[in-house]
Amino acid sequence: MTDDGTIVEKQLGLFHRVFSAVKSDELARQFSLMFVATMVANFLNYVYNLIMGRMLGPADFSAFTALLSVLLIASAIGGTIQTVVTRHVSILKSERKFNSIYHLLVKSAKPGLIASLFLLLVFFALSPPAQTFLRLNSVTPMLVLGTVVAVSLIAPIPWGILLGLQDYRNLAILMILGATLRLASGVFLVLVGFAVSGALGASAVAGLVALFFAILPIRPLKNSSSDCEPVPFLDMFKYSMPVMISIVCFLGLITIDMVLVRHFFEAEDAGHYAAAATLGKIVLFLPGAISLVMFPKTSELRVVTQKSLKIFYKSLLTVFILSGAVTLGYFLFPTFIVSIMFGQKYLFSVPYIGFFGIAMTLFALVNVFISYLLSVKKQSLIYLLLVAVLLEAGLIWLFHDTFYQVLAILIGVSTALFISLCLYLYLGSRRGSSIGQVQEEIFDSYPRL
């Protein structure tokens, strides 16, 4: 009893120290909040896809997943808009020009709506040939998808503003609200007979409701006494180009292997690779909230400084710990993890998930570099990203005899890119000598247990 009581006391003491460390560090609190919100939203989205698969059946579900792949393009456009808005708002926030932030929302509404309507018309025009190519029963799912994409071009504006304001509490609520509404409306629309169109339409419903609630916290800024300045759309557009290229390149780095494996390998073998890749993506997206929190904070500072580097290195360390822990689990318990996630028929994937974890850990660290460098306008990184994408695609095209070859290329390219970005940041810093000093400060200031 005494030993058991001592163990319980030690566990409670450890929990108390962890809680106190997080509570006393603002960055750690914000990381924790967004991490929990991201995990809850991702879990609800996973349940949504699982339920849609069961309700729609194989034929309709394959059409549903094929149409969802089109949203990858929209995610690059929406991600660019959100990133550009976030950085601009972060700068306005640091200058306390809050009325200009509300002015940005108002002035962005009209071009955002015009772009959304234009894209919707494009989907209308392309619906008949898309129906034939994808073997859809009607054009309706394409029209619904066009609506979803149109919403995805407007929603990043208020979301980017909230992120720039570092209003993480409302962002966390909106993330969970959107995922919950998507799940509930999707089940309802499919139940009443809308099938694939209903499953897709759920994203539009959730997006529109979340959009309305995202605007509410921004409205009070209208009463700010600060002067209102014109929205620099031209400067924002110029900044958006390297952001767009960076996002597209990063998406290419983490998806091109799937496309080429599907092309070069048998369908069943490619399915096993896809299962391992899906588990690898968990390593990549698990710490996604870290970059989300870091970007507006370093954007406020605009250039590479000791303060921005301190935030960056703390973010990098946190991502390494989270992704590294999951990767270690993949090496220790691969059979158990694959069996739980995909079932016995995917056990062929077991030898590969640990190596996928290594590659995705490195790409997760690269993602932190991309967010930081874009926030301080170090935009030449796009050349490194372009070379990396071409190198990865070219090497897999030439060397693809086994999955191990493909994984070796992923690990090699991600390692080379990570090292290149380290050198790029070091050589590009105005005060290169300060980096080592900041690294020491990170370990001194990181929450201790």
pLDDT-based confidence at 448, cuts 50/70/90?
A: very low
Query: What CA–CA distance (Å, rounded) separates 359 from 352?
Result: 11
Give me the amino acid identity at 328: L
pLDDT (0 to 100) of residue 145:
87
Residue-wise pLDDT for 98-113, tens only, equals 888 888 888 888 888 8
Of 203, 230, 257, the last residue of a domain is 230
Look at residue 61 and tell me whether its pLDDT is greater than 80. Answer: no
Look at residue 441 and tell me whether its pLDDT is greater than 90. Answer: no
Task: Give the helix/strand (H/E) hosting 231.
Answer: none
Q: Which domain holds residue 127?
A: 25-230
> Would residue 200 count as lying in a domain?
yes
Query: Are residues 195 and 274 both part of a single domain?
Result: no
Residue-wise pLDDT for 203-259, tens only, equals 999 989 998 999 988 888 876 555 666 777 778 888 888 888 998 899 889 888 877
Query: What CA–CA distance (Å, rounded) separates 277 from 296?
Result: 30
Query: Are residues 162 and 68 both part of a single domain?
Result: yes
The whole-model pTM stands at: 0.75
Instruction: Compute the C-alpha angle 359/360/364, nearest 5°.
Output: 125
Query: Are residues 67 and 112 both part of a single domain?
Result: yes
Q: Which two tokens stand for residue 107?
A: 């002035």
Of 202, 230, 258, the last residue of a domain is 230
> Would residue 362 count as lying in a domain?
yes
Residues 6 or more apart whose Cβ sits within 8 Å of residue 449: 14, 17, 18, 21
When mean pLDDT is compared over 9-13, 102-106, 182-186, 247-251, the highest value belongs to 182-186
Query: Are residues 82 and 186 both part of a single domain?
Result: yes
Q: Which two tokens stand for residue 439?
A: 């690294």
Of 230, 251, 273, the last residue of a domain is 230
Residues 6 or more apart whose Cβ sits within 8 Å of residue 248: 76
Give me the amino acid identity at 29: R
Look at residue 386 and tell me whether its pLDDT is greater than 90. Answer: yes
Query: Are residues 304 and 224 both part of a single domain?
Result: no
Query: Are residues 179 and 270 both part of a single domain?
Result: no
Task: Give the helix/strand (H/E) hosting 400.
Answer: none
The length of the chain is 449
Query: Are residues 209 and 337 both part of a single domain?
Result: no
- The domain total for the chain is 2
DSSP 96: T
- The overall average pLDDT reported for the chain is 81
